[in-house]
Amino acid sequence: MKRIILFAVALGTFASCATLKTGEYSFRVVTTQDAFGRWFDSTFVKPSARASLLAVENVVEPMRGSENVVLVDAGNMGGNGNAAFYYENVAKKSILPEITDYLGYDALLPEKSYFKNNGVRFVAAPLDEARAYAKKHKAHVVIAEVDGNRFDKDKTELDGIDILIAHNDGRTYSKVIGNTLVIDAGRGVRKAGSANVILDFKGRKLVGKKVEGGLVSVDSDVTSRAREHFNDAYAAVTSFSHSVVGHLDVDLDVKEAFNGQSDYINFYQSLALGYPGVDLCFSSFLALDGKIAKGDIVYNDIIKTLYPFDNRITVLSLSGEEVRMFLEASYDLQIQFQTGAGKPSPANFEFGGGINYTVDVNKPYGERVVISSFADGRPFSLDKRYNVAMTSYRALGAGWLLDKAGLKTTADIKARVVEEGPYFKTLLYEYLKANPNLTRERISDPKVVGEWKYIR
């Protein structure tokens, strides 16, 4: 923000303390959203450049020479990616304030903000607070944000809102509804919103307002000035990305998981079962072919091979019978795949961890899975509720396995969520920090992951 003010004062025309006069005032409002950790143009995994928060400079800087620019972010700047992970989990000091200051943001939603530009009063706030906040500050321009998953253009009241930033839904669009410009620039800062706001004042009274705009693309490459400014950050994240974080003593072969219990699945189950409060878990394939070779593990190996997806650990409360029926549904798909009776996706082949059980392929669906006990010998009851860990992907109902277990609707599933935890990548990193040497004895300990087998 400091850079904008200094620049404005230097021009002698944009000072925030300016007195309103009769005439027309024009502003360019640039909006960003849902960066989800894409701060730099490098993934630090692949050599190609990508859209990023820092590249927003390419959008706003050309405007600042001739326009009054307002820059607003709708939220979700933090998240995944090597840079975000390094600063949030290793350096333990966020670099986001330095990035937002460098870019010159006026408002960072969902935190409410009131500011002036050339004497004109702006507010930015969540939609349900925006009108009251605007009234308090007698705002001339009102910018609001809303979760796009909850925004209904036919039912959401928009009177008094000039620009509404809908986000968090992955969609990309812009439209005018009544007198409100609605902008949804999607995820990953591939696009930004760009609105032209024209205000007509008679003395200090606002007598006319026009808002129009749409979406603009964000270039992949950041400026040389930005790269130089954040040179130390680029170097630190690059060094961390290639640092050794553990050692794997056994090959993890994906194909072994198609035939029975395997080190490959056991590895992910031991990870999930180490999360506090978890009784058992479900784990699936993260790849359909290939081998993770034994040897040193650098951080980028986590991103590329060990856990290439952005899943979080999610804990649901399920009865023993629901656990059993979940596994019945999963193994029914696996048996179809093995016998050629169908072509189900192996992405939906889930395996139980932390329990001992058998799968009798000779019996009909619904009678194949028998769970004898927990891995540590404790009795397992079909009537009791247990905390079951799974991926956030599966906890959304993907693959219909929870449906087959009896949780028929999204509401049914949400009612069972005990905890939405961290990314599995974070769990894996912490797992390796605690004991960096991954041996077969550690990842396939039957007293932890349990034992299961087919009866043929």
Query: What string of DSSP letters covers 272-302?
Result: HHTSTT--EEEEE-S-SS-EE-SEEEEHHHI
Q: Between helices 57-64 and 96-103, what is the axis angle to 10°?
A: 30
Q: What's the rounded mean pLDDT across residues 104-124?
A: 97
Q: Over pLDDT 90: what percentage of the chain? A: 81
Full domain range(s) for residue 397: 244-455
Q: Does 41 share its domain with 184?
A: yes
Whether 192 shows a pLDDT value over 90: the answer reads yes
Q: Report pTM.
A: 0.84
CA–CA dist 168, 147 (Å, integer):
6
Q: Does 24 share its domain with 164?
A: yes
Q: Does 133 share its domain with 231?
A: yes
Query: Which of residues 212, 238, 264 is at a domain's end?
Result: 238
- State the total domains in the chain: 2
pLDDT in tens, 44-70: 998 888 899 999 999 999 998 889 999
Q: Count of alpha carbons within 13 Å of 166, Cβ hemisphere only?
A: 24
Q: Are 113 and 123 in contact, with CB atoms under 8 Å apart?
A: yes
Please give the DSSP secondary-structure letter assigned to residue 49: B
Q: Does 381 share its domain with 286?
A: yes
Q: Does 284 share its domain with 154?
A: no
- For residue 17, the model assigns a pLDDT of 46
Least confident of 129-138, 281-290, 394-403: 281-290
Q: Does 182 share its domain with 231?
A: yes
CATH number at residue 262: 3.90.780.10
Q: Does 224 share its domain with 254?
A: no
pLDDT in tens, 354-404: 999 999 999 999 999 999 999 999 999 999 999 999 999 999 999 999 999
Q: Are 188 and 34 in contact, with CB atoms under 8 Å apart?
A: yes
Q: Between helices 2-11 and 96-103, what is the axis angle to 10°?
A: 20
Whether 4 shows a pLDDT value over 60: the answer reads no
Q: Does 234 share its domain with 249?
A: no
Q: Are 314 and 421 in contact, with CB atoms under 8 Å apart?
A: yes
CA–CA dist 246, 302 (Å, integer):
10
pLDDT in tens, 309-353: 889 999 999 999 999 999 999 999 999 999 988 888 888 999 999
CA–CA dist 366, 363 (Å, integer):
8
**CB under 8 Å to 163, separation ≥6 — which residues?**
29, 31, 141, 142, 143, 144, 180, 181, 183, 193, 195, 197, 211
Q: Are 295 and 36 in contact, with CB atoms under 8 Å apart?
A: no
Return the CA Rg of the chain.
Answer: 27
CATH number at residue 213: 3.60.21.10
